[in-house]
Amino acid sequence: MQYINRLSDYKDNMESAVTFGKFDGLHRGHQILTQKVRELAEKDGIRSIVCAFDMHPMWECAGKIPQILMNSKERCRHLEDIVDVLAECPFTREFSQIHAEDFIRDIIKGIFHARYVVVGTDFQFGYGKRGDIKMLEQYAKEYGYELIVIEKERYEDRVISSTYIKELLEKGDVKLAGNLLGYSYGITGKVEHGKQLGRTLGFPTLNIAWPAEKLIPARGVYLTNILVDEQWFHGISNVGVKPTVSNEGKVLAESFLFDYSQDAYGKTVSVEFLEFCRPERRFGSVEELKVCIDKDIAYGKHFFTCM
């Protein structure tokens, strides 16, 4: 897959099937769009393209700290075997001023040479969000593309969206969030040196600083899968600040891996969150903390044995 982070870097003159959106999380609704793009491209022997709007420039201008489900590296990894091109388009002030018809002429046709445009029912584009699926249909013949509009994917009575998934994560419902994403929510980072309290208590942990922009799920203990040296291990992970033993306030994912005893300091590991166990809380003593963690571990081992 080709990855570009500026539209001006895309130079391919081949026709394409292209879809547009923020694609934060690449959830099940997004996956229908990307699979349709791939299907059309394979059928006609053309390029399959996902154009993802990168909202960081707008957030920076507004002084906002984003809380995203997926960063660029994760998006690349998820799309690697799905489409030919991932084009991330910085949503700058200048880009936001492009008029809707100019977007169709200069980007959809001018840059991507679209034969097919695949979007959801609520897709809007151009200055003031004046472009929509009606405008795309209106100009389809003039610019030589076919518009394909995909209905929203739903879970029960609600549209699957990044906003909905974020609400679930903030409540700790990583199980349903994973269902709507189509994969388990997680993070990747380097294992840091800690105070080694877990080791002295009999359960050494791998500590990862929570990525600054990634949405933090409800603080507490989760059943998790952890990837170390290309091998997956079951375990439990605490997301939080370890209030019983630390006053730093730094959010960590602190994982105890079942059946792992190697030194992982400095290694890059991934943690996937499967199910919420209990909220994080301050204990009256380290001994009380240890008793609770022993129960967490016993519950976790039983859970994975019964899977």
pLDDT tens per residue, range 172-211: 999 999 999 999 999 999 999 866 555 555 568 999 999 9
Percent of the chain past pLDDT 70, that is, above it, reads 94
Q: pLDDT value at position 287?
A: 84
Query: Which residue intervals of the chain are DSSP H helices?
Result: 28-44, 56-62, 72-79, 93-96, 100-102, 133-143, 162-170, 174-181, 197-201, 286-305
Q: pLDDT value at position 248?
A: 65
Helix (H, G, I), strand (E, B) or coil at 47: strand
State which amino acid sits at residue 19. T
What is the per-residue pLDDT across 142-174, written as a single tens digit (0 to 9) for each?
A: 999 999 999 999 999 999 999 999 999 999 999
Helix (H, G, I), strand (E, B) or coil at 151: coil
Q: Residue 259 region, left (φ>0) first, then alpha (ψ -120 to 50), else beta?
A: left
> Which architecture, in CATH terms, is 2-152?
3-Layer(aba) Sandwich (3.40)
Q: What pTM was computed for the model?
A: 0.93
Beta-strand relationship, 268-279 and 186-192:
antiparallel
Q: Which residues pair with 131 in a beta bridge?
A: 125
User: Could you state, in order of their start, the residue ranges of all structural domains in the chain?
Assistant: 2-152, 160-305
Fold of 160-305: Elongation Factor Tu (Ef-tu); domain 3 (2.40.30)
What is the chain's mean pLDDT, rounded? 93
What is the per-residue pLDDT across 254-272, written as a single tens digit (0 to 9) for each?
A: 999 998 988 899 999 999 9
> How far apart are the C-alpha atoms of 20 and 42, rounded to whole Å?
19
Query: Which of 191, 178, 201, 185 is closest to 255 using CA atoms?
Result: 191
Tell me, rounded to whole angstroms, the distance of Cα 93 from its chain centroid.
24
The count of other CB atoms within 10 Å of the CB of residue 299 is: 16
CB-based contacts of 14: which residues, under 8 Å, 6+ apart? 46, 47, 113
